[in-house]
A and B are shown apart, each in its own frame.
Chain A
Amino acid sequence: MSESIIETKGLCKSYGGTLRVKDLHMVVPEGAIYGFLGPNGAGKSTTLKMLLGLTHPTGGEIEILHQRMNDKNRLSVLRDIGSLIESPSYYGHLTGEENLRILQILRKAPEQNIAEVLKIVRLTGQKDKKASQYSLGMKQRLGLAAALLSHPRLLILDEPTNGLDPAGIQEMRELICELPQQFGMTVVVSSHLLSEIDQMATHVGVIANGVLVYQDTMAHLHEKSEHHLALRTLNNASAQALLRHHGIISEQREEVLLLPPLPDRTIADCISMLTAQQIGIVRIEDRRKNLEDIFLALTEGAASL
């Protein structure tokens, strides 16, 4: 196997004859924070549940932690995975600590891990409170503590910030970002919010309608964002003709001319030239096609397939 910790080949899942996940080739490098991004209902949870053996694939293969995920290897794979799927799991009539104790017994984890993970998710002060009395943010953090309990090599988190308030989201994000450096974990985190993935992930996979439409490093996705210069003058038609005469092709859109990215020296020359021709420059600004636009383009593209 390569250095990837998860690799799926042709992974499919159908419900009632409809393919919800189609031919998915997902590759998650070891040590990455892999953002699994897609609109609601795109197939994120279904995919993550297949990785964990909660849902049986209709077709394809899953290699996870250098083992094939099947009945035979299921237990040894699960031993090294912590997960938080859909909403947080908890027994409401038990305290936060008692909830963790159950998992500590099941996983045969050292007892001190309970105090340690409670500290990591900042729930030590609330450990004796019943889980049913926790806020949603606290329940999510309890879920994260449960996932971290046996120091897994791989952490799979499905929409961990769903339903949290802005402070809760930031807190969860900080926790997730710390994990790879502090504990050497690989994290797969799903979200329908690009901004969130942008702030956390090193790698990204974009899924839409069950199809993985993009997969690469976050840095590569950023490179896809396009630069434009938007120029507004008192006479856009003349300005466009003049620029074309000097070899600069622009596009008129609404009240501005969109110019390709140009070196600073060329921009300065253009301004001088237009001013010399008494074409009044009203505004010049840098415009960037942001990640949100790219995400929409990627996911809409898949929607029309």
Chain B
Amino acid sequence: MLIRSIRAEYRKLRRSYIWLALLIMPVMSAGFGTFNYLNNLGMLTQQWYSLWTQHALFYCTLFAPALTGVYCAYLCRLEHLNHNWNTVMTQPIPIPTIVLAKLTVVSGLTALTQLFIGALFLLSGKLAGLTAPIPTALPLWLLRGWWSLTTEAALLLFLALAIRSFAIPVGAGILGGFCGIAALVKGFGIYFPFSLLPLSMCSHNPSDSMECSTAAFVISSTGFFLFGYLLCVLWKKHRDTQAG
């Protein structure tokens, strides 16, 4: 039933503008990061690692949380418009499955975004003339970043389900992104869901390992994911369906 629900969700994305956002925002993020890197070559001397700090700074603070907010808002906007919640909620599909299908699709979109960001990083580095070997940690940064974004998605999806506004999940993502950096710098990264992205992608400390143990990261991110997912399910179960 989950597979069918996920298939149906992907069908809804046909001919949608969401793909345009997936293309444009990572390009902007990589552009800003590379521009910043090239303008500070005097200070940024660690080649790929320096470039990564600049890419990750823009990506983790602004573009990735905003884009995840866009994905969540878009998937829910499809249902908020034209009374589609009435149809969705009268299908013989359990509510936890409906929510999980939407989360899986957002997670799939963030996975594509992560791959694209990785490719853009490599392309930027080549264009910037970097000659050092490519960091072996890159796949790990991208993989952990994907899971961190999935965690953020569970929380932003709740906002998108509960509030019929496109801007609020996007705005909350951006606000979360900035607060996340602040919390990370203060050393509370593991305790704040929006800090997990810069923490796991090593935006401030480009190395293979995070500033916390993998177990702590997995427990924290999985906890926040389950919290967000449960909020979504309980909301849809107990609230009367408002369509319009």
Contacts and interface: CB of A to CB of B under 8 A. Distances in A.
B87 A146 contact: yes
Contact of B12 (A49, A71, A76, A102): A102
Contact of B94 (A53, A75, A83, A103): A75
B83 interface: yes
Interface size range on B against A: 20 to 34
B8 A102 contact: yes
Interface residues of A, number: 32
A146 B92 CA distance: 14
B86 interface: yes
Given A56-B240, A146-B87, A106 B5 contact: yes
A106 B94 CA distance: 11
A94 B14 contact: yes
Given A85-B83, A89-B84, A91-B78, A79 B92 contact: yes
B83 A86 contact: yes
A108 B4 contact: yes
Contacts of B240: 49, 54-56
Contacts of A258: none
A75 B84 contact: no
A52 interface: yes
A78 B90 contact: yes
Contact of B91 (A85, A90, A101, A103): A103
B86 A86 contact: yes
Nearest to A46: B240
Contact of B8 (A54, A71, A105): A105
Contacts of A87: 82-83
B11 interface: yes
B234 interface: no
B91 A94 contact: no
Nearest to B15: A93
B112 interface: no
A92 B11 contact: no
B155 to A, nearest CB: 25
A92 B82 contact: yes
A158 to B, nearest CB: 9
Contacts of A56: 238, 240
A119 interface: no
A105 B7 contact: yes
A104 to B, nearest CB: 9
Interface string A35-74: 0000000000000010011111000000000000001000
A54 B243 CA distance: 10
A101 B9 CA distance: 11
- Central interface residue in A75, A86, A102, by most chain B CB within 10 Å: A102
11 contacts: A54-B89, A54-B240, A71-B237, A76-B92, A85-B83, A88-B82, A89-B83, A91-B78, A103-B91, A105-B8, A105-B11
Interface of A: 49, 52-56, 71, 75-76, 78-79, 81, 83, 85-94, 98, 101-103, 105-108, 146
Given A93-B16, A102-B11, A146-B87, 12 more contacts: A54-B86, A75-B93, A85-B83, A86-B243, A89-B82, A89-B243, A90-B84, A91-B82, A94-B11, A94-B14, A102-B8, A105-B4
